[in-house]
Amino acid sequence: MSQAANVRSLESLKEFRAALIKFIDEAKRSISTADSEVSRTQIWLQSTQPMHWIQQERRSNELLAHAKSELFRATISQPDNPRGPTDQINLVKKRQAEIKDAHDKLLKTKRWSRKMERETNEYRGAITPLLSSLEGSLNKAVFIIDKSIQSLEAYLSTSIKPDEELKDSTGTPTIARSGEEYVKEEPTDEHADSGSATDKDN
C-alpha cells in the first residue's frame, strides 16, 4: 500500500541544494587558487631564484676579477707605500664575500626547492579525495536533489486537499480530487416500492 510523502518543507530542500552548489563552487575555486599559489612558488624556487643567484655569483666573480686587477696595479704603482693598497684589498674581500653569499643562497634555494617538491606531493595527495568528491559524489548529490525536488513539486501539485475528504455510505473516508463531484446515492427500499404499487392497483 502506498504511503503519502512526509514533506515538511520543500523550501528547506531547495535552500540546501543552493547551499551545496555554493559550497562546491567555492571549494573548487579555493583549490584552484591554492594550486596556482603552489605552482607559482615551485617556479620561483626551481627556476626564478636559482637563476637570480647564479647570475649574482657570476657578476660577483667578474667584479672580483676587476678588483684583483685594481689591487695588482695599485701594488705595482705604489711599491713603497707603507699603507699599501688598503682600499683595493678591502674591495677584493668584499667581492669574495658577495660570491660566497650568492653561492650559499643558491644552495639554500635548491634545498628549499627539494623540500617544496615533497610538500607539494603530500598536498596533492591530501587534496585529491576532496577534489574527487567535488567532481563526483557531490555533483551526483545535487542531481539527486534536483530530481527529488521535481518529483515533490509534481506530487504536491496533484496532492489531495484536506477539505476534499468525504465519506462513503459505509463511513469509510474517500478522497475526491479537485473538479470531481461526489454523489451520494440514497438507499432504496424494494418493499416500500412494491407496497406503493399495490396501493395504486387497489
Report d(CA 33, CA 135) in Å as an integer.
17
According to the model, what pLDDT value does residue 77 have?
81
Beta-bridge mates of residue 173 = 167
Confidence of residue 94 (pLDDT cuts 50, 70, 90): very high
pLDDT digits (tens, 9 = 90+) for 28-83: 999 999 999 999 999 999 999 999 999 999 999 999 999 999 988 888 887 676 66
Highest mean pLDDT among 54-58, 176-180, 198-202: 54-58
Q: Does this model's pTM top 0.85?
A: no
pLDDT digits (tens, 9 = 90+) for 112-130: 999 999 999 999 999 999 8
Return the number of other C-beta atoms located less than 10 Å from residue 102's C-beta: 20
According to the model, what pLDDT value does residue 177 have?
39
pLDDT digits (tens, 9 = 90+) for 113-172: 999 999 999 999 999 998 889 888 998 999 999 998 888 888 878 865 554 444 444 444
- With CA atoms as reference, report the closest residue to 44 among 144, 137, 112: 112
Return the number of other C-beta atoms located less than 10 Å from residue 105's C-beta: 16
Residue 148 amino acid letter: S
